[in-house]
Amino acid sequence: MSEQIEQRGPQLSRRGLLRAGVLAGGGLALTASLPMVARAAVTGAGAAVQPATLNAYVTIGADNIITIAAKNPEVGQGIKTMLPMLIAEEMDADWDMVRIEQAEFNPAKYGMQLAGGSFSTPMNWIPMRQVGAATRAMLVQAAALRWGVPVAGLKAEKGKIVEISSGRSLSFGDVAADAALVPVPDLASVPLKADKDFTIIGRSIAGIDSQRIVEGKPIFGVDTMLPGMRYAAFERAPIFGAKLVSANLDAARAVPGVEDVFVLEGGDNPELLVDGVAIIAKNWWIANKAREQLEIEWDGGQWASHSTAGYDAKAQELFGQAPTSDIAVSGDVDAAFAAAAKVVEADYSYPFLAHVPMEPQNCTSLLREDGVMEMWAPTQMPQAGHGGVCQQLGLAPEKVVVHITRMGGGFGRRLTNDFMVQSAAIAAKKPGVPIQLIWSRQDDLRSDFYRPGGYHRLRAALDESGKLTGFDGHFVTFSTGGKVNFNAAMGGKEFPIHFLDNLRYRQSAIDTRVPMGSLRAPQSNALSFVQQSFLDEVAREQGRDLPALMLELLASRDEFPEENGFLGKQPGFSPKRATAVIEKALQMGGWEGRTDGNRRAKGFGFYFSHLGYFAEVVEASVDARGQVSVHNVWAAGDVGRHIINPFGAMNQVEGAIIDGIGQALALAVQIESGAVVQSNFHDYPIPRIPATPQIEVEFIKSDNDPTGLGEPALPPVIPALTNAIFAATGKRIRSLPIDKAQLV
């Protein structure tokens, strides 16, 4: 990347301002997303001048230091740096004078505080800029009042208010206290800067916490330290859904350093509290070691018989039966296959996956004398964690206070807050004593909310000319209590739905008690492998390559209409944008020279997810022992017309690609006797630095508002790799992770 790295959706409306003002009482809140227009502190003679808080996000000191609150949790995706960049840009702030602090959890002030779904950018692109623009307008107004001149004759410029005619200026710090008294402008009409005038958006800026991380400063959840704090381990069933029968509490209590041992009775919802035994000790190592003395007995019930082998067998059984529900049906599929000159058929499957962030789950809780449960939590979704604690303990919302800490990874695991509920339930038994619950690596791997496994039986009909005329898919997924988990579902827009006249996707489900949750690029991280690998098979039967087939199908449809989504109105799928990234990736990867005939070749994959378009070319080789080496990845992406922080964007794309390669090569969660077999990194080998390929990334800037980057680069790398392996060896990968024995 040539740029130097510096070490330093929805719109807001006046209606929203007024509504939030009423909620705040006294009209001090701008909106749920732009709250608390503060008044400058009244100071007596000789008193120190206090920083002026202009709104919930911006505080400006007399020394011109601008402190911006980052509202969303930081999980390594760079949002703690990026969102304040949007505010600072519209303020015309001097970035060197900006300091960033993590905002407290407060939905009344900040609205949705979320790290997940690649939502942060599209949800906040306009609102955070409006925050900055409103702040700038207040500062300019304050300067105009100070000088007694019209606002039109002033401008903001790198932390100063400048009179255009004379050149005289005031720093933001000079007028901040006055600005806090200025009426808040109408947020819906506050002018935003033109793209050409951006000076901060588009600059490569290193993560605001990077230096502190390198220096080992305590910023993560597990670093929380409180006076008199004790540590907890929580032993729960290895079998999902099991109930506690008995435990030798006295034996665990007798371990030196252990201060208390007690049973917590839970329910059937793994997102809240499940049966277990809590051990409190002076340090975590003692608490964790004492678990070995519990001699614990569980009743696994019917789920103790579940296994990966059993699921595999059940999927084959269901393939022999009629699917139970439709996902998408169009045209006359049976007629297309009856008239086909050739039928391509294949079965694909993929396993359950765990998240394994580097920082295991942890949370620190204190039941205060006033009955408030105060918590320090590395959570991606504090609203859900707060609500879960209230529900489990029967507390009113105002009786639970959550402080958001930085997270050492998450990848979707910390969207589910069972660890917060456990921590609070333990602390509730020890009033006045701060309790830090820490999971072991084994806990983390064996008590996850897993990326669901799945099975696909696919058929494609080709006519005499080789044209794809029909498509039929039977998807066997997983359900709990008869309901398919969102992360195990396949929507009705999965490609090539809407691109073929005769298409049928149907579904069956296997009931399981294995908890399921979101893993980076949920649904897409598995479905992309199946979709793009099978279409590669179809293309080869046609005598051409996958990109040619994809481009032909994409050319058959115009732009899709705008649609309603989680973020409100959003653009429909664009074949034009998809085509552009495909063509760019092929050019980047030198697609014409895609095989050297010596078990080294290139493969291709495309996918659209989380409003982002990515096409990728992977170059890989396979040696005589079946060992796969990934040498190069070329990725082209379209996530809108702005890359807000190129440094952070590159980190996200590269990380997603490495994640996807790691999943394809080695990762699987296996179930035996109702429990997870894997226990640590020796049998769940996440990717390491030596296996990292050379990665080249280029962005196509289309005329669309920017969207998220944490997830859409992951899905296409998996089929691009498996398709490269086929090109190199002639052996098709239809099940993940890749089995080296099949490639010898």
pLDDT for res 1: 37
Instruction: In whole angstroms, give the CA distance from residue 699 to residue 652.
Output: 13
Residue with tokens 């070995």: 292
- Name the pairing type of β-strands 563-565 and 568-570: antiparallel
Q: How far is CA 678 from CA 292, 372, 413, 586, in A?
A: 19, 38, 17, 38
pLDDT for res 174: 96
Instruction: In whole angstroms, give the CA distance from residue 357 to residue 655.
Output: 13
Burial (Cβ within 10 Å: 0-12, 13-18, ≥19) of residue 195: exposed
Contacts 24+ apart (CB under 8 A), 736-740: 736/349, 736/350, 736/351, 736/529, 736/663, 736/664, 736/668, 737/351, 737/663, 737/664, 737/665, 737/666, 737/667, 737/668, 738/628, 738/664, 738/665, 740/625, 740/626, 740/627, 740/628
Torsions phi, psi of 419, nearest 5?
-65, -30
Tokens, residue 183: 């009426």
pLDDT for res 335: 98
272 CB-near residues (< 8 Å, 6+ apart): 266, 388, 391, 392, 418, 421
Instruction: In whole angstroms, give the CA distance from residue 378 to residue 358.
Output: 12
Cis peptide before 712 (omega within 30 of 0): no
**58, β-bridge pairs:** 68
Instruction: State the first-to-last Cα distance of the chain, in angstroms, to the nearest integer.
Output: 38
148 CB-near residues (< 8 Å, 6+ apart): none
Tokens, residue 151: 């606002």
- The interaxial angle of helices 524-541 and 546-554, nearest 10 deg, is 100
Does 3.30.365.10 match the CATH number of domain 229-301+355-446? yes
pLDDT for res 49: 56
The 10 Å Cβ neighbour count of residue 186 is 13
Q: Cβ distance 580 to 22 under 8 Å?
A: no
Q: Cβ distance 508 to 476 under 8 Å?
A: yes
Sheet containing 160-163, strands listed edge to edge, beginning at the edge strand earlier in sequence: 154-157, 160-163, 169-171
Strands (E), 247-372: 258-264, 276-281, 297-299, 325-330, 342-350, 362-367
Residue ranges of the chain whose pLDDT lies below 50: 1-47
Instruction: In whole angstroms, give the CA distance from residue 512 to residue 605.
Output: 31
Local structure of 154: helix, strand or coil = strand
Tokens, residue 347: 């079965």
pLDDT for res 186: 84
pLDDT for res 40: 32
Q: Cβ distance 687 to 629 under 8 Å?
A: no
Radius of gyration of the chain measured on its C-alpha atoms = 28
Report the CATH number of the 315-353+450-743 domain: 3.30.365.10
* Delimiting residues of CATH 3.30.365.10 domain(s) in the chain: 14-214, 229-301+355-446, 315-353+450-743
- Could you say which architecture CATH assigns to the domain 14-214? 2-Layer Sandwich (3.30)
- Torsion sign (Cα): 96, 98, 102, 108: negative
Instruction: In whole angstroms, give the CA distance from residue 492 to residue 508.
Output: 15
- The interaxial angle of helices 717-729 and 524-541, nearest 10 deg, is 40
Local structure of 126: helix, strand or coil = helix
Q: Per-residue DSSP letters for 656-682?
A: HHHHHHHHHHH--B-EETTEE---STT
Instruction: In whole angstroms, give the CA distance from residue 595 to residue 723.
Output: 12
- Torsion sign (Cα): 442, 446, 450, 453: positive
pLDDT for res 42: 32
